Amino acid sequence: MGEVILEMKKIDKSFPGVHALNNVDFEVKRGEVHALMGENGAGKSTLMKVLTGIYTKDSGTIIYEGKEVEFNSTREAQDAGIVIVHQELNMVGHLTVAQNIFIGREFKKGIRIDDKKMNEEAKKLFDRLNIDIDPTMTMSDLTVGKQQMCEIAKAISHDAKVIVFDEPSAALTEAEIEDLFKIIKDLREQQMGIVYISHRMDEIKVITDRVTVMRDGCYVGTLITEESTKDDIVNMMVGRVIYEEPKTKSQVAADAPVVLKVEHLNAGRMVQDISFELHKGEILGFSGLMGAGRTETARAIFGADPKESGDIYVNGQLVTINSPEDAVRAGIGYLSEDRKRFGIVVQKTVAENTTMADLPNYMKGLFIDRKKERDVARKFVDSLATKTPSVDQMVINLSGGNQQKVVIAKWLCKNCDILIFDEPTRGIDVGAKNEIYKLMNKLASEGKSIIMISSEMTEILRMSDRIVVMCEGRKTGELTIEETTQEKIMNLATRDIN
């Protein structure tokens, strides 16, 4: 590690009603990977947005390369050499890789954009990073992982001295994460200062040199990664260590009836001949790599995507599911991995979201019975321990974990007995994750049956009674929790990949 390249001192920032950053200190040294951790809403992203000129700070100083600086736009920050690789990919799908990398600073020949030169420069950049991507490909044709690599290449091409990675691994496969780490290590060698934001504790241990923790908009402390344990970090983040104990034994009664039976389900390349059973009160984990076809399977069962063939039995009865409406009628609820797009209506209140799937039961003649709606919403807010000032709060103002609870309330309100959780804790912070886990266990013990799709190995191992593993659209194995090991799952998940 070299000298300090970037120092943020006593940064303060308020939004109407929220004190987002409260006297926060943060520094990065040359040749260091510095993790920035904290629960969602702790202020990590806000701090980085202040740094890169997206927000202006209320007070405090930023010292960069020995001089006090103040950036008024991402452009100014970029020009100074501070770039951010965003959590959500910021790529223009219709343009080519090279066009994306050099967007905003195209090479020109007169008024003409020199695409040939841009392709060559992009190629050079990829060679330097040991990435194999054709710069003339259209961006939307690349996998998420490759797009991420392009985003990194774009960041580096700015002559960056400080690079901020905002949850870069969230959408990557294991192999892609390894590539990412290789690149980050290279950048560290080149004496760049790297800020790494992530929720994944394992990664922090592998890749970072120091960890700074934030909580509720405040600076909590900085640790040297090598000298600290996971518990130290988690402790600082939440101020407490409570994790649901991992399951070692199935919690399902041996004679529990089969509530959902799927036989020879086919739906395109991603869902080929899938068969499985789900028992009452069971949490069935679906494991596999990104793109294994788990979400597609769930969507086909739920009727959100058309299926080609296959039978679905609910409580022993053959059911026809051609649309989500049919699925809900059969008692199946689906909690999408992308809550904001499919799960909730963020501009509506908690109460309105709760009754959305079951509105006919909350009508008084032609009108919605607001009182009945609020009452049921209040009931679920209490039973699920949703943190919201009132049921009239807009869902957009809730944290990720609490939004997820509103989605759960929606399906419980509709009396769904089979719940499909797709990445139930994605984008949810450590403390709230644990609450969701507890809630799922409680639901299962009350007789609800749960399919849980998860890319996080620890989550699969902690929650599942039984595990189905998929790979490239096929079911490659089924394990009981007693016999499961991480290695066995990985073997099955990668079986067909050469």
Partner 1 sequence: MEKKKVPAKIFKQEVIVFLVVIALLIFFCVASQDFRKYTTILTIMDYSYYIVLMAIGVAFPLITGGVDLSIGTGLVCYSLAGGYLIMFKGWPTGLAMIVSILFGLAIGTLNGILIGVMDLPPFLGTLCTCMITRGLGSICSKNTGISWPTTGQPGSWFRSIFKYETAGGTKIPLGFIWVLLLAVIMHFVLNHTKIGRYTIAIGSNKEAAILSGINVKFYHIMAYTISGLFAALASIAYSAVFKTVLPGTGAGFELEAIGGAIIGGVSATGGAGSIIGTFIGVFVICLLKTGLPFIGLQANWQQIVTGLVLIGSVMVDIIKKRREAKK
DSSP at 272: B
Looking at the Cβ atoms of 138 and 491, the one nearer to partner 1 is 138
Q: Which is nearer to partner 1, 112 or 240 (CB)?
A: 112
Closest approach of partner 1 to the CB of residue 404, in Å: 24
Q: 47 vs 332, which CB is nearer to partner 1? A: 47
Q: Write the burial class of residue 70 (CB in 10 Å: 0-12 exposed, 13-18 middle, 19+ buried).
A: exposed
The strand ranges marked E within 169-322 are 193-197, 210-215, 218-224, 258-266, 274-279, 283-287, 309-314, 317-319
Q: Which is nearer to partner 1, 154 or 210 (CB)?
A: 154
CA gap 216, 238 in Å, rounded: 10
- State the residues that interact with partner 1 by CB under 8 A: 73-75, 78, 86, 88, 90-96, 99, 103-106, 108, 111-113, 115, 134, 136-138, 140-141, 268
Tell me how far apart the alpha carbons of residues 325 and 346 are, in angstroms, rounded to a whole number. 21
Among residues 74, 13, 6, the alpha carbon closest in space to that of 43 is found at 13
Q: Do 121 and 175 touch, CB atoms closer than 8 A? A: no
Question: What is the smallest separation between the CB atom of 415 and partner 1, expressed in angstroms?
Answer: 33
Q: Within a 10 A sphere around the Cβ of 333, how many other Cβ atoms?
A: 25
Please, how many CA atoms are within 13 Å of residue 422, restricted to the half-sphere of its CB?
Answer: 19
Give 89 or 218: the residue with its C-beta nearer to partner 1. Answer: 89
HSE, CB side, 13 Å, CA atoms: give it for residue 81.
Answer: 13
Torsion sign across C-alpha atoms 358, 364, 367, 368: negative
H/E/C letters for each residue in 70-83? CCCCHHHHHHHCEE
Nearest residue (CB) to partner 1, 101 versus 314? 101
Convert 404-423 into a string of H (helix), E (strand) and C (coil): HHHHHHHHHHCCCCEEEEEC
Q: How far is the CB of 112 from partner 1 (least distance, A)?
A: 5
| Per-residue buried b or exposed e for 199-229, using 16+ beta carbons within 10 Å of the residue's own CB | bbbebbbebbbbbbbbbebebbebbebeebe
Beta bridge partners of 194: 33, 163
Q: By C-beta, is 53 or 217 nearer to partner 1? A: 53
- Signed CA dihedral, 82, 85, 86, 91: sign only: positive
Q: What does the angle CA 44 – CA 12 – CA 430 come to, to the nearest 5 degrees?
A: 25
Q: What span, in angstroms and rounded, lies between the C-alpha atoms of 491 and 457?
A: 13
Nearer to partner 1 by Cβ, of 113 and 490: the residue is 113
C-beta closer to partner 1: residue 79 or 244: 79
Of 81, 454, 422, 138, nearest in space to 146 by CA: 138
Q: State the Cα angle at 189 between 186 and 194, rounded to 5°.
A: 80
265 versus 418: smaller Cβ distance to partner 1: 265
